[in-house]
Structure 1
């Protein structure tokens, strides 16, 4: 696919996805969503990729400023919302679990950790994108907002399900019912962020963390642990334990398990095959 609204680069086992509409503050469009899903599918299927990082073009002075206002104006003129995506849009993460087979929920089916490197404002769908990442690193002072209230929209793309599970019901109600702007520092106190990092060090810290994941965690372990986490949000404790026990037996039969044990005993890096 020709990439016009995004960039995609793979280095040292880490795929970096950049939202690249800097003149529009990296605002989201149907084209960007289509490209983004295509990239995620490519990265998920690429054995050389162990971790995925999502960020905004730094020249846009935002991570993602939400839906493009010109697109919103077009929805208004047409009298209804239009996602602007083709019927044959790529489906990364689909087919793993029916609970993941929906827009943005597909992140949970992707078998690799996704890290959001939030280098500026994240509004509307930008907040959604950050929330569906597995880990979130952010610059100081970045501004967040759900934004939907001012447009007479509902909470978007499952945020009403996801945010209470990340920050708790009290904070989620504050964010979603008010659509107010809140800062990275507030987001950190709520438990939304993993780390606040100075702008000049953001990508260095994110890449260091991602490379550590890529080299120290077996790809099969990363994949199954991630899927356990999101599946277990729907399960009772006993079902989670039984599923984990079944996975333990299954994964102990793999070459990567034997390689991991051997590498540990020999005090060397493991050569996992994924």
Structure 2
């Protein structure tokens, strides 16, 4: 089986995993092989206690240009419901974040997309399911679906309005037009636009700061809180926060968080 996903370690203590789509000659268009390798990679990184942050990017000039058209042409309709792509990998997590591509949000570590070029169709879906999005000044975004006779796939109709608002979401979905990096920043589709030449290094530096200076336990719980919010009332969100604050105050990371601040030294968080 060809290797279509690359993994490397980065950061001061190699606690950042850099995951790269690796079909540069095809603008990293998604194949079944790549899809399976990506999910297996994320599951493995989620379970790896030496990894504290994940950077997702593309090899070559594109982030991910969507599904490979050669595979899309022969895609059987029943594939979209195939159990192999919808299987849960952790029965203790919300089912909403276990399905095809939404599993990004079930990964306990922060996922930061370094969008180095075209992010179209599924490429945009991957970016949206990431926690944070940094874009190259050469990046281009498009939903693409309407121009292929398709619909808003894989939960993007739920996710996109939450990121950019309903009007921008409708515009991007209906027109399938190309959106520049600057426009993406203006509509809050991305958090930062960075020079193309420094995008990956700057994104890794951000991820390394999270891995080094922030409690992994805090991020893990905060990511859970952010994931639960769309399904909660305010009262339920407060109840979850109060419950988790009680546990946080008893954690090793809280003890270390106070100690390193008082002693004015580098934090040594364990995630416990």
TM-score (norm 1): 0.92
Which whole-Å deviations, capped at 9, do the CAs of 1:39-96 have from their partners, x for residues lacking one? 11111111111100000002xx110011001101222xx5x36369883887556631
The answer to whether residue 263 in structure 2 is matched with residue 261 in structure 1 is no
The answer to whether residue 9 in structure 2 is matched with residue 7 in structure 1 is no
Matches of 1:168 and 1:132, distance apart in 2: 16
Any stretches of 5+ residues in structure 2 without a counterpart? none
Matches of 2:89 and 2:126, distance apart in 1: 15
Structure 1 contact 155–176 (Cα < 8 Å) conserved? yes
Which whole-Å deviations, capped at 9, do the CAs of 1:210-266 have from their partners, x for residues lacking one? 111111110100111011012112211121111101000012112221122111111
Partner in structure 2 of residue 178 of structure 1: 175
Any stretches of 5+ residues in structure 1 without a counterpart? none
Specify the SS of the correspondent of 2:63: strand
Of 193, 210, 215, the match for 2:190? 193
Matches of 2:239 and 2:260, distance apart in 1: 29
Matches of 2:81 and 2:25, distance apart in 1: 20
Which whole-Å deviations, capped at 9, do the CAs of 1:22-41 have from their partners, x for residues lacking one? 11111011111111111111
Matches of 1:95 and 1:152, distance apart in 2: 37
**1:93 to 1:217, Cα distance in 2 relative to 1, 3 A:** farther
The answer to whether residue 13 in structure 2 is matched with residue 16 in structure 1 is no
Aligned length: 268
Partner in structure 1 of residue 73 of structure 2: 73
Matches of 1:110 and 1:227, distance apart in 2: 9
For structure 1, which segment, 23-32 or 3-12, has the greater mean C-alpha deviation from structure 2 after superposition?
3-12
**1:94 to 1:180, Cα distance in 2 relative to 1, 3 A:** farther
Specify the SS of the correspondent of 2:84: coil
Of 27, 36, 39, the match for 1:37? 39
The answer to whether residue 240 in structure 2 is matched with residue 240 in structure 1 is no
1:1-274 aligned at under 5 Å gives the runs 4-11=3-10, 12-58=14-60, 61-75=61-75, 80=77, 82=79, 87=84, 91=88, 95-274=92-271
Structure 1 contact 94–109 (Cα < 8 Å) conserved? no
Deviation at 1:192, TM superposition (A): 0.6
Matches of 2:134 and 2:67, distance apart in 1: 22
**1:190 to 1:94, Cα distance in 2 relative to 1, 3 A:** farther
TM-score (norm 2): 0.93
